[in-house]
Amino acid sequence: MTIVARQSQLFRILAAAILVGAMPALGGEIRIEHQGLTVNGNLELAAGQDLSDGVILMLHGTLGHKDMEIMATLQERFLEIGRNSLAINLSLDVDDRHGFYPCERPHTHQNEDALDELDTWLAWLVEQGGRDIVLLGHSRGGNQITRYVVARDSAVTAVILLAPATASRDISADVMADLEQARASEWLDGISFLHCARARVRGTTFDSYTAPQEAADTPRLLEDIALPVVVISGSEDSVVPDLPEKMAGLSNHNVRHIAVDGADHFFRDLYAYDVVELSLEFLESLDAAVIEPEALIRSAESLEGVAVRSSSEQVPIIIFVSQHGCEYCAALRKHVLIPMIRAGELEGLAIIREVSLDQGFELKDFQGELSAGRDFADRYGAHVTPTLLFVDGSGREVARRIVGISNLEYYGFYLKQRIEKARSNLPAAVSGPGGGD
């Protein structure tokens, strides 16, 4: 864990820049449809940029909204340093919701609804050409984002968690009594629920938010996350005071924890500058690591350079065909490919690049021509995700492809066999896409 105690250097730089004058920026409210409801978000685009330059998708905490102080302040700070951001409102089962959820309104939403809404927003970003998508979540929003990344495949490249929610398996006798009643009744009336002192709550809603479950404890979930994550906590946080202790026991090397000395749960005032500066340092460290051995699977943005490397090193290219929302792609990435890359099992044996079938994904093919990912995959008849293609530097298949997942436990064994077959076939000419052993 790193403890930060400083007046933000970023604040001093930005203060000087503001005196000179800020560049104009584009932005505004975005409204899209999700399961019959309108959901909305606030998009801030830095001057001269669009979504292909990267975007931070931000999620608020319990019963909050996109315009609450911490969300609005962070968006302003990110904009000042040239980072695009999209702060979204969870619907909480309300059409076109704005502002805090009113406690007098009956609660019918589910904690897990956030995962489907994140899916909808990420799909929209990809359709708009969004690249290098980073998820940022505060408090319960941090837990919901972590649940999402662990459970589902996505176009996300990294995660920033601000004071994410923790949970204990133990609950009080009063809450247990309410939980038992909730499971037996359609509605609970006049009970304490989330931030509301007296609320009308659907029984399934109360169960969703209150029942003990490991997924409610963010540090526990982070043990299984495969993406790079930074967790930022405040030393004066009274909402999740056990977060630093729980983070200290984490063994996942993908996750780093930084404590900001003096900050509370909402990182008010100048502490917001610390959050942005630490987030920027984290993201820049990932950018700098691109030239190192891949900690993550790289997108096939240009296959020309990969082809040259394949020919010079005499190693095959593995094309990982995937798409947004493909659960088997997520399982393959998390449990097989990334662990093998980190263990060095592909080093010197193969080069792996990912091609997405999602709308908006483009690459330069082996001939240097710009192509949509789906069109590129069509040349090989690779319509099922996940599919692994084994090709040489000219794009010809040199080993039998692996389609889908029949047995995850033995997938790595079969993958190594296929790589060896591809290596042995490299000198021989193969007749076009669809061929191979």
Query: At 29, which CATH number?
Result: 3.40.50.1820
For residue 27, the model assigns a pLDDT of 67
Do residue 325 and residue 343 come from a single domain?
yes
For residue 224, the model assigns a pLDDT of 80
Query: Whole domain around residue 175: which residue ranges?
Result: 171-211
CA distances from 332 to 153, 287, 300, 402 (A): 10, 24, 17, 12
The answer to whether residue 400 is domain-embedded is yes
Query: At 404, which CATH number?
Result: 3.40.30.10
Percent of the chain whose pLDDT exceeds 70: 88
What's the total number of domains in the chain? 3
pTM above 0.85, yes or no: no
For residue 278, the model assigns a pLDDT of 94
Mean per-residue pLDDT for 9-19? 40
Q: How confident is the model at residue 428 (pLDDT cuts 50, 70, 90)?
A: low
Mean per-residue pLDDT for 13-37? 62
- For residues 173 and 255, the model is more confident at 255
Q: For 2-16, 111-125, 293-307, 368-382, which range has the lowest pLDDT when averaged over its residues?
A: 2-16
The answer to whether residue 430 is domain-embedded is no
Mean pLDDT of the chain: 86
Q: How confident is the model at residue 437 (pLDDT cuts 50, 70, 90)?
A: very low
Do residue 262 and residue 401 come from a single domain?
no
Q: How confident is the model at residue 20 (pLDDT cuts 50, 70, 90)?
A: very low
For residue 118, the model assigns a pLDDT of 96
Most confident among 75-89, 200-214, 280-294, 358-372 (mean pLDDT): 75-89
Residue 313 has pLDDT above 50, yes or no: yes
Question: Which of 291, 318, 334 is the last residue before a domain boundary?
Answer: 291
Do residue 159 and residue 250 come from a single domain?
yes
Q: For 15-24, 172-181, 331-340, 395-404, which range has the lowest pLDDT when averaged over its residues?
A: 15-24
For residue 24, the model assigns a pLDDT of 35
The answer to whether residue 433 is domain-embedded is no
Q: For 16-25, 81-90, 112-121, 388-397, which range has the lowest pLDDT when averaged over its residues?
A: 16-25
Residue 420 has pLDDT above 90, yes or no: yes
Do residue 121 and residue 268 come from a single domain?
yes
| Identity of the residue numbered 380 | Y
The answer to whether residue 436 is domain-embedded is no
Residue 10 has pLDDT above 60, yes or no: no
- For residues 116 and 323, the model is more confident at 116
Percent of the chain whose pLDDT exceeds 90: 60
Encode 214-237 in three state secondary structure.
Answer: HHHCHHHHHCCCCCCEEEEEECCC
Do residue 381 and residue 336 come from a single domain?
yes
Do residue 78 and residue 161 come from a single domain?
yes
- For residues 297 and 390, the model is more confident at 390
For residue 251, the model assigns a pLDDT of 78
For residue 6, the model assigns a pLDDT of 43
For residue 152, the model assigns a pLDDT of 80
Q: Where are the beta strands (DSSP E) in 163-269?
A: 187-193, 196-202, 229-234, 255-260
Q: For 3-7, 156-160, 221-225, 230-234, which range has the lowest pLDDT when averaged over its residues?
A: 3-7
Residue 183 has pLDDT above 90, yes or no: no
The answer to whether residue 437 is domain-embedded is no
Q: Which residues contact 232 (CB under 8 A, 6 or more apart)?
A: 160, 161, 162, 163, 257, 258, 259, 260, 267, 275, 278, 279
Do residue 228 and residue 360 come from a single domain?
no
> Each residue of 340-349: pLDDT tens digit?
887 778 888 9
Mean per-residue pLDDT for 367-391? 94
Residue 370 has pLDDT above 70, yes or no: yes
> Each residue of 223-238: pLDDT tens digit?
888 889 999 999 999 9
Do residue 138 and residue 272 come from a single domain?
yes
Do residue 189 and residue 332 come from a single domain?
no
Using a 10 angstrom Cβ sphere, with 0-12 exposed, 13-18 middle and 19 or more buried, the burial of residue 315 is buried
Q: What string of DSSP letters covers 336-398?
A: IIHHHHHTTSSTTT-EEEEEE-STT-EEE-TTS-EEEHHHHHHHTT--SSSEEEEE-TTS-EE
Mean per-residue pLDDT for 351-363? 89
